[in-house]
Structure 1
Amino acid sequence: MVSQNRTIRFKLYSLLSLPIVALIMLWIVMTGHLVGVFFDLRRGVTLFDQVATPAGVLADHVQQERQLSAIFLSGTSPDGGRLAAAREETDRAVTLFNERVTSLEAQSATGPDVVQSLAELDRHLHRLSTLRQDIDGRALTRLASVQEYTKIQDALYQMYDQLVTVSDLALYRKSNGLQTIVRSRELLSQEDALLSGAIQQNSLSREEQRSYADMVSGRRLLLARGLEALDAELRRPYDDLVASADYKRLTTMENQVITQGRSPEQAAAWQPLAGTLGSRLDQLATDRATLLNTRTDAAASGIIAQIVAAAGLGLVAILLAVVLSARFGRGLAQELAHLRSAAIDLADVRLPRVVAKLRDGQPVDVESEAPPILVTGTTMEVQDVAQAFSTVRRTAVEAAVGQAELRKGVSLVFRNLARRNQSLLHRQLTQLDGMQRKTSAPEALADLFRLDHLTTRMRRQAEGLIILSGAPAGRAWRKPVPMHDVVRGAVAEVEDYTRVTVPPMSDASLIGTAVADVIHLLAELIENATVFSPPSTRINIRGELVGRGFAVEVEDRGLGMGEGDRDELNRRLANPPEFDLADSDRLGLFVVSQLARRHKAKVTLRRSPYGGTTAVVLLPHDLIITTADDLPPDPDHSPGTRHTPAPEPGGHRM
């Protein structure tokens, strides 16, 4: 069977199309909508239990306190403690309400609108104490007290309006209808409070008459509106109540008060009648709200069943999509995994191995280090990427080899030029030595000595180029040299050597093969200390045997350097980087680090107690001889004055 190559886009679309369609069609459109409706219904039930129910209790007690306050303001004799008891009941209702609305369950269901209405209600409830003081001091009229309590009730019912969050339109309409009937019941309570006080005084002012008429008309309008929103089952008890003889007697008394402007003819029957009808309305509101809440729970249960069905169908579709997609994805994953392994092998194994070989000077075979990547898959794009990766890998290896050859060529150029300069400078030093021996004129000798010193420094610069190329400097001692002479030889390489103080050191010698490099290393550090310290200060050099070898300290009294710069220099001295032609300002640092690594010495910079910098050179035991019968220095290669100082720094230390 001939396999057909296909694009990665085709395979990815085949892999993802079925799960995406299944998720979008089943979960987002169906499950998401049903879950949202379900949570809206559950939120409505939670608000009814945690907020609406205690709020209804609070509203009943505020109505009772309002009526007794109006009666208290209408008479002059004590009420037997009824008002005080009503206030205590109201306070307990407020406490219960606050506990319920601040519970974790209630807060999880309240939105910003409900929170804002609760804050407004809390502000009105805090005014209860002031209102009661005004009533006790009879600073308010009967109508004013009723209106003040009504403000609290209005805040309660405004909060009620925010609790209706059912997304089902039919349930929302019925819930809103019940809420309207409850507002009608509140107006009946206002009528009862105002008229009960008027009956106590047997008088009704014109303002109270107008307010009473507004209450009656509002109550009847809200009751009619609320009943229109209910279905037959919810409305039936209310229709029976409206058709009852008690309700007709109530409306007759209301009409008498409005038309005659005084208490009804059967004034003594008003309070029992209003109380009875109010209690029946409260009971009906509780029963109808419970029934509506039961319907909400039933709707939520039905939605749960729909969610389960939708989830089941979605799960089947997703499983089918996964099974079909796995067949396409398995082959593609294997191809990409092979390509990934090849890329990791290039980055973590082959290129570092090539660089290590080139750094050690070993030959590198490009063909063996960069073989082509073989892909057995059928995806065209993966094949193209594998071929491109093979090309990139070969190019990277060739570039690394070319870069190494270029560095090697530059090093050879450095070495050849430096060797030529070194040979000429040796000849020049020999001629200068002969001229010094032939003349006795002080001025001529001084000039020849300065020229001799300058030539010695030029020779050290040439040796620095040789060290940068990775080769030894050329000078060597066959026998050990005392460390004191080695340090003095390094001082002699420095232009401003008269500022350097070298006290006697421990009885130790340096092996001959390391003398030239250690003199060069110390000369670089001493030269650096003289350049970056005031001309009037001294450079102190101390050397002694320590537990891990021989330590030489070069201390200046200059301005020193920042902690960050010092840490960076110490890092480079401990781990010498590859020589960068662009970083020519710190050739001395690179020379010192290379010499230290060559002999396994450790060079560290630290802050001097005088504010400058102290360079500490720790030579290992392998380079130091401490026996008493050390051989004398080689007379032909004794450290003397003909050693060149460090290159002139270009404004940077080292």
Structure 2
Amino acid sequence: MFMIRNWSIRYKLLAVVCVPVLAATGFASVRITDRIDQVEQLSALAEQARALPAVVEYGTTIAIDAGLSMLRLPPVPAEMHLHAHQQVEQLAARPDLDPRLADQLTQLLGHGQQLKQAIDRNEWSTQITGEHADAFLTSVRHVIRAMLDRIDNTPALIAGSELLQVWDTQRLLLHQVTAFGMLIDDPRTGIAAATIPVGLELATLSESFTATTVSPDIEWLRAEAQRRQGLATAFDTRQETIEQLRTSLVGSSEHYRSAMTASTKTIADVLDNATATARAASLRDAALVLTLLGAAILLALGVAQSMVGQARRAREQALHIAHHELPAAIAHVKDGTDPTSLPTPSVTGSSTDEIGGLLQAVEIVNHTALRLAGEQARLRTQVAGMLETLARRTTDLIQQQLALIEALEHEERDPNRLGHLFTLDHLATRMKRTGESLLVLAGSPSQTRHDPCPLNDVLRAAVSQVDDYQRVRIGTAPAGVVIGAAVHDVVHLIAELVDNALRASTPDTNVTFAFSVAVDGGILLEIADAGVGIPPHILPDINTRMTVPDATEIHAPRQMGLFVVARLAARHRIQVTLRPTFDSPRGTGITASVYLPASLLAGLNHAAPVAALHHPRPLSTSGAGRHAHRSRMPR
């Protein structure tokens, strides 16, 4: 059941189709899943990139507030700081954010809140405030760097690198604010400290922003840096000078903020484009994979359905030919029809594949079988002709021998010699029955006579054709006659059954007859012996062959007599069956039941039985045909 070779073609094709389709589906699912994960990752990174301005804004606001405090100027509005703080807080609370990045943002908020409170209370000196503000900006840079490190897109990374570059340049403004604060406190010693960060800014603007795509207005920033450098060199403590420094620093900070906003926008746009591209690619891949899988499945199902349908049609046609057309054609051949005049059973199929080749092979096999049947029929006809010729020649010689023996019996007066002649007569009669059996096997027509014969005489004539006839007990038979056309065949049939019964039983047992009249006017004759019997597993097969005789089923020499009985019974619709003799005192034995239909009988009278003579006798020759029975038995 579980062996592949025993599977039907449908299941084999299903296995062949499903395995690669499932494998392709698995690989396609993995690829589509990867695409979807990539889209989700890019989408999440794009959302985080949109949050970069909030981090930059928060860091810039805290830095400006620290710078204004160091310059002893009013702080930035509280609502500006609150807005920036809330934006970063919302970003840290997002569920799709990396937990490590969320922790960094939380720490950044705490650091900024602590710095803001210290600035508001004016707890530190200018230098210490600058140091704390610079540490805070370093923390902001680490957060921005952590957010950029999650990005795996070259254009976005370039924009992120520019963002960090602008951020680092902007930090120089804080150093300048710290130096200017020291300059306000001590103009003599603060000039050198104030001019150094301005020079660094000028150098950075000249070297680092020449090839950037989102660089700020370099000329304006350079002019403002030179202006602050001049103010620092000729610094005085007038409020007008401090206001000029403040205006320059705030303006430069706004330019840097604009450049960083442009960088973050570029990063977000690049990631959005990458997300859209990845989403389109995933949809395209999914559509392509589904289309290819659908086409492959449809093609496989079409091919499988074609093969299964073709195989099913071939099977149905082959079975129909094997069970109906070919047996009918062979039956016509057996009846004598020329095989060449019969159409060869063929299967329809126009394909040139292996199944089509198989159909052609089946057609060739059918043609060969029909040809062999024809040859077998011709051989059987030839054998039957030879058997008939030999049987007729033998029968003619036996007839001559019987005529000679009969003439010698009429002339002989010596009882001993007459007894020997009677023995020769009996042997010749048995030989004549053997020749008639060959005629039956050859299929030649039966002997006929015109006048009917009493049933009692028919039985005695049958017994006269067997050896050891003294063991046969006919008993009382119903009064009636057998029609002339069936006399010789009935005699032959009963003689064969009696001969089998005598041969199958021991010499000290008898073979008995029993009679009963059927309701339809026929008669049932039973011939019982007490012999060795027939094995139970063979008896049904023998009864079947007795009902439908076939020359191909002859099991000579043991069952040749039974086949002759079947042939003779089929001529006159006589029913013959064999059954065990259960009431036999010795052995099981066999009882042959012979049903003679009413069409073979005339004048049947069960009320007036006729007692059979102790010794059998031959049939009267009056009215008999050319081959009438002429045996004589001692009385």
TM-score (norm: length of structure 2):
0.50
Q: Point out which structure has higher relative CO (alpha carbons under 8 A, 6+ apart).
A: 1
Q: Which has the larger radius of gyration?
A: 2
